[in-house]
Amino acid sequence: MGHKPYSERTPEDYLQRMEPQIFASLKSDQLQEFKRLLEEAIPKPNPKIVDLRVVIDLIVARYYMVLWVGNDRRKAPRRYAKKPLTYISNIVVVCLILLSLNVTLTVGLFMTAYLLKSAVGIDLLPGHLGDNFKSIGEDQ
């Protein structure tokens, strides 16, 4: 069983790991029920809209990040921990992520606007520090 990838395993692969005496003692209806339960328990691959996997190599450690976006096909909703500390820390992390995304987008927009302004040749502050440096360079 170790040679098959996890996503390709079947109920028979798991039943082969059972003790041979116990496997031989199973009646056909018991064996069919085991197969049905294993088929239900083995996760099925779910096609993803986004499947992003990134590995970050640092000097002392190696980290990975996985982002999957796809349809939720689970039968029952997941139960989440209702501990106050977990709830508060989740809110803090979400706020930090949103804040960093907002800052990144804002800085990116301002940099793009500044580069476009410079490429077109628009000078918003004539006689400012940059013009003084240019005039010093032209005098020499």
- DSSP structure string for the chain: -TTS-GGG--HHHHHTTS-HHHHHH--HHHHHHHHHHHHHHSPPP--EEEEEEEEEE-SS-EEEEEEEEE----SSPPP----HHHHHHHHHHHHHHHHHHHHHHHHHHHHHHHHHHHHHT--SSTTSHHHHHHHHHHH-
* pLDDT tens string 21-78: 998 998 999 999 989 999 888 877 778 888 889 999 988 999 999 988 888 777 777 6
- Confirm whether 109 is domain-assigned: yes
Q: Quote the domain boundaries for residue 120.
A: 88-140
Write the pLDDT tens digit of every residue in 65-81. Answer: 998 888 877 777 767 66
Residue 130 lies in a domain: yes
Overall number of domains in the chain? 1
Residue 137 lies in a domain: yes
Q: What is the mean pLDDT of the chain?
A: 84
Within a domain: 108? yes
Residue 123 lies inside a defined structural domain of this protein: yes
Note the pTM of the prediction, 2 decimals.
Answer: 0.39
Domain-located, residue 129 = yes
